Amino acid sequence: MSYQYSQQGYNPQQQGGYVQQQQQQQQQQQQQQLLLQQHHQQQRPPPPQHQQQPPSQQSQYNYSTMQMSSQNVSKEQSESKTSKNTPREWKFGLFDCFSDLGLCLKTTCCPCITYGENKGKLNGNPTPNSCSQDAFVYCCVQYCFGLSCILGAMHRNEVRAKYNIEGNGICDICTHFCFGCCALIQESREISATPPS
């Protein structure tokens, strides 16, 4: 009978060897899969285990977390305050006086009127009187003593302080001494563009 099987290409001893080979291959594959699973588990971090900390440690942790968050908030607030307190430049240039020809003509002919209107607007009056007391004082100081640059510089300093504009007192005096009309126009345009709060 074994002869019959051998002629047909079937040998019972070979069949048993084939089955053993398949079993060995399956075992090797299972071992490889187990090794891969173990390797992947080693690479993954273990899930966090929540252990109860003693109350004193928890409160220290909470306090330090709150302290850090309050420090971050105070830093952000101080940065925003710093950016708000940083002086800015004028919105309009000193020699942009010809942009508004009506204001330019009025200031060139009667700077006291523009000065009075600027003072009124700065003090919160949206439609100040052209012939105010401030305008009269400016006119008298200018035509009697020629020192309107001092009043103009004092007013310019008020404008800079109110709108947080860069500059200093000496620059204000020099600007009003050399370019009084241009300075008054610049201040007027600044006040009109940024009404006082």
First-to-last alpha carbon distance for the chain, in angstroms, is 115
pTM of the model: 0.56
Residue boundaries of the structural domains of the chain: 97-193
Residue 37, burial from CB neighbour count under 10 angstroms (0-12, 13-18, 19+): exposed
Query: What's the confidence (pLDDT) of residue 44?
Result: 62
What's the token pair of residue 2? 């074994």
The pLDDT, as a whole number, for residue 87 is 85
Backbone dihedral angles phi then psi of residue 165, each to the nearest 5 degrees: -110, 140
User: Which stretches of the chain score pLDDT less than 70?
Assistant: 1-18, 39-84, 195-197
